[in-house]
Every structure is written in C-alpha cells, then in structure tokens.
A and B are shown apart, each in its own frame.
Chain A
Amino acid sequence: MSPNFQIAWRFLVAKKRALFMSLAGIVFGVAFFIVTQAQTAGFQNFFVQTILGVNGALRVQDQYQYTLTDMVAELEESEEVDRIRLREGREYRPGVHNPNQVAEAVRAFEEVTGVAAVLRGSSSISSGFRSDEGRVLGINLLEYLAVSDLGMYLRHGDLADFSADPAGILLGNRLAARLQVSVGDTVYLGHLGEQRRYRIAAIYETGVEQYDRFHYFIHQAEARLLLKRPDEVSYLQVAVRNPNNAPVLAQRIEEAVGHHVASWQERERSWLDVFRVLTISSAITMSAIILIAGLGIFNTLAIIVMERSREIAILRSMGYSRGDIRAIFIYQGMVVMVLGTVVGFILALCLTWGVERLPIRIRGIFATDSFLVEWSIWHYVWAAVIAAVVVFIASWIPARKAARMEPANIIRGTGA
C-alpha cells in the first residue's frame, strides 16, 4: 500500500460517521440509478418486442412516383426556348399493386428474413349478441407467422384449425369479449352490404389494445372476396435481422421498390420519444442523488482539510509534495466512490431482482403481469461513470486547496 493511500485511509476512517453518510449517498444514488434505468429499459424493450411481434420491423406500403414539372429556359442567341424537366414531388397511390414482384425485390435484401403480404380493410363484425366495426386483415398464415409473433399471442384455440378452415377467423380477446364469443362460435363480417360467415378458430392477446379490440385475421383469399379487391395488397410486413438498423434499410428498400417503406422507429416515434424522455428524466433525477452525495463528500473532505492542516504542513515538511497531498485527498474520495459503487451495484442487483417480481397488470401498449426490467451492464457502467465524475470533482476541490497550503503559514499559525 502506498504511503499516500495509507494516510488517506487513516484520515478517512477517523471520520466514520461522515464517511458512512457519504457512502450511503453514493450507494443509494448508484443503486436507484441502475434500478430506474433497468425498469425504463425493460418496459421500452418489451414495447419494442411487442411492436416488432405485431407489426413487424418494416412496412412496404403506398406506391409512389415522382411528379415532374417543366422549367422554361430562353436561349440568349435565339428566340427559341428550351424545356428542362425537374422533379417536383411524389405522388402516392395507396397499396402495393404488384405484391409478388415487390415482395421478391424486398426478399433480395440480405438483411430481410421474411415478407408477408397483408390485405387490410374495414368491415362490420357481428355475433348473435352485438355488432361492431373493425379492421379485417387478410393474411397467408405461414407467410405471416414468419414476420410476426402471432403464434405466441394465442390464448385460446389453435392455428392449425385456422389453417385447415378457409372460413376460419382469428379474433382479439377484447373484441371476443365485446361480442361475447369464444372458439368455435360463428361471426359475420359485412362489407358493402354483403355478409360472409366465419368460424372462430383461435383468440389472441397481443396486449396492444388497437389489435386486440379492432383487428381480426382471415385468410387472404377470403379477404379478397369480402373486400372485393382481387389483386393488390395493403402492405407488405417485413422482418429483418437487425431491427435497430431498420430506418437505414427502409430507405434503401424504398428507393429500390418505389414504395414508401416505414420502419418501426418511424411508426412508433411518439411512444419511443416518451420512453426516451422517461429514461433521461429518471437518469437526471437519480444523478441528483449522486450529486447530493458528492456535496456530502466535498463537505467531509473540506472539513478534513481544515482539521488536518497541521498534519498537511508536517507531511510537506518531511518531503511530501503538493501532488502527494492532492493524492491523499483524492484517494479519500476514490475510496468512498469505489466502496459506494460496489455496494450500490450489489443493492441494485437485489432491488432489480425484487422489482422484476412485483406484480403489475398492464394492457394497452403491451401485456404484462409483472414489472419488466432489463439486465444491462451499461446501466452499471453509466452509474459508475457518473459516480466517478461527481466524486472526483467533489474531492478535487478540497484536494487542490490542501495542496496549495503553505506549510510555513500553517506552522506559524497564520492559516493557509
């Protein structure tokens, strides 16, 4: 152990109560920072998983083409005029009108793992008890399962039944509850005055209210008959290897296929912004605890510097440099920081483990029955970095003051 560290340790241990208070501040600051980040990230990740599982990473939707305009230019030497064609903007045409070719082009991208065509339209849905309005989604089941987690969301019934029955329908649990129907019951879908009969093959729950209450799946061939749209589809749902890279990929696919491609980040921007604000605000709030602990450390060290001025003078007289004195006080801060961070990590592990088991029922943007947390090393790294910066600044200032003390003035009794 270096003499500087040994002196620092003894100085610090001599002030046990102040040491304990400073330590407690860092421990709780670090632990709460990690737990709040783990929760926020946990809920955000689950939301993203749900979004990807329900809507896919990318959607290839409306076809577009550039509109052109003419710019007239007069030539100087003659009276002739020249017309230059310029791109003016985009004209959109809803839907994907040649889905097979577009899907083929999209599959050509290496990052794409699955493409499913979806035909979407409005219809009425009625049971023997009541009627409602909703959105019918016409899918090819195998194709759709490759780009969604629909299979995971089933609560009642079986996808095999749906697959085997051309008149099968998959209902969200909230819609099923409103219509008071269950698996095996019959419902009627109506569009433009025509009604068709379907048998409920399965009931799903995604947790996303929009889906569970207003959407229902039927086979695409059936949807074409119901909606009277024989050729086109509404959009292609696309799964990709790395969903974080979806915006870049969306842009590339958009340019290649001439359809607007929306990434999940673009579609869910408002929710992602909410999570981002929550993450930042909780980080700021919890950093404030660490900051207050830093003020405590500053206060403790400033008092130690005042109380130890004679010892500082004698250390200087026996050959300890200004740098040594500075190190002695910075070491004290670092001891509090390292101890506080390590104990804070342990407390954070225990709290995160406990929080993960707390019951909470959430439905609306996703479905969960307990708190969600993310176990990420980066939450611990960030907590340690914030604690290190705060403690270093808190100990640097008194350490600098101690190093600047003039030993002769202290011994003479005239202060620093």
Chain B
Amino acid sequence: MSGQVTGGVVAMKARGLVRTLGSGEAAVRVLDGLDFDLSPGKTHAIVGPSGCGKSTLLYLMGLLDRPDRGEIYIGDLELAAASDEVRTRARNASLGFVFQFHFLLSEFSAMENVMLPMAKLGGKSREEMEQRAVGLLDKLGLADKARRMAHQLSGGEQQRVAIARALANAPAILLADEPTGNLDERNARQVFEQLQGVAHELGQAVLMVTHNPGLAEQCDRILRMRDGRFT
C-alpha cells in the first residue's frame, strides 16, 4: 500500500524516504523508501507495532530529522535537503507539533506558551498575539486558565495548551506523536476531537501517530506500517 493520494490538493508530500538509524552492524533501516501525501482538512493516522518507523517518519515530516534519501515537499518547496535556516522557517510557518509529552515551558503561563511560536514568526503586536492565544485557548476550553502557569494545569489541560501552541501560527500541517498516549480515556477523547475539529474546521492536514486503534479508526485515513513500509 502507498501513502500517496490520487488527485486533489496535497498539503505535504514525501517521496522515496529512506532512514537508517545506528551505524555499522547495529544499523537498522527504519524507513525503506516511503511515498506519502497529506491532504488538507483531513486527519491521517499512522498505526503499527513499536519500532516500525512511525515516529521516525513523523520527525522526518516535521523537519526535525533528515532522511538518508528521499524528498519532502511543502507546496513546491523541497525541504529534505534544504538548509537548516529554510527548514527552521518552514517549521515555524507551516508546521505545528503536538507530542506525547506536552513539553510546555513551565515558567510561562498557558497564554505565553501559545505566544512563543507567534513571537518567533513576528508580524504581530503583543496585544494581537495575546488576543490570538486567548482565542485559541478559548476554542480548546481553556480561556479561563490562560494566565495560569503551565505547571498549574492538569495533564489534559497541558496537552490542550500544546495543541493551541501548535496552531498558533495557523500552520498548514499539524503533526502529533501519540498526543493522547499520556492521557486518561476522557481527556484522550477530548484531545482527539479537538484535533479532528481543527482539521475539519480550519482545513489543516493532521498527521497523527497513535497506538490507540479506536482513535485511528475515527481518522479520515489510516496508514498501517510494518518494517519501515506501509502495508
């Protein structure tokens, strides 16, 4: 099975991705020539056993890692071999990340955490950034906790702040690495619904790695991986 879609608009695509981790005799080919498209407004789930290369694929698509071979495009811009500067700018403007662990900056309030990507991108006054951050937190049901420090929020609330942060610069693509893996069922469902809402309402392409088959089934598209390939 290929991760490519036929026809329609593509938010992000990868061609022939190969990634080997380790070296010498310990080298393992984690991704073995993957082709892959992300469609805007759709949620994509990657499922598969541990070690099949799901997270590695996510990091490559997130421009946090470089493939040994292959190409990655956002629009017409090839980014696998692009300079660190170009990839960093693309991460800031076009990509949003949600990780299993929220990785909020604990000395900052929820609102300030959401403002961090906006502050880096520039172009907005502090008031505009605050307004947008509060708006996003409101959408995720956290408006009343916008000024609380990150460490004063529950696990589910922190993960929702992380989603708001990922959406801060209205990126075309949202990447989530087991975003509900650290949450109880109620919070997991809430977070998933919010990710799906983002895709359907805001038109963003969401790529989610998950071990939860129930959540994967609710995604618009499921990609099953085994030994570095889609099955």
Contacts and interface: CB of A to CB of B under 8 A. Distances in A.
Do A and B make up one complex? yes
A318 B107 contact: no
A211 to B, nearest CB: 68
Contacts of A412: 55-56, 59
Contact of A321 (B85, B116, B121, B166): B85
A319 B92 contact: yes
B107 A317 contact: no
B177 interface: yes
A7 interface: yes
Interface residues of B, number: 32
Contact of A320 (B64, B88, B106): B88
A317 B91 CA distance: 6
A320 B120 contact: yes
Contacts, number: 72
A335 to B, nearest CB: 15
Contacts of B108: 10
Contacts of B93: 319
Contact of B103 (A11, A313, A320, A322): A313
Contact of B120 (A10, A11, A319): A319
A408 B63 CA distance: 9
A314 B88 contact: no
Contacts of A310: 101, 103
A63 B105 CA distance: 82
Nearest to A2: B119
A203 to B, nearest CB: 72
B62 interface: yes
Nearest to A310: B103
B84 interface: yes
B89 interface: yes
Given A3-B116, A3-B120, A411-B177, A317 B105 contact: no
Interface of B: 55-56, 59, 62, 64-65, 84-85, 88-89, 91-93, 95-97, 99, 101, 103, 105-108, 116-117, 119-121, 165-166, 169, 177
Interface of A: 3, 6-7, 10-11, 13-14, 310-311, 313-322, 324, 406-408, 411-412
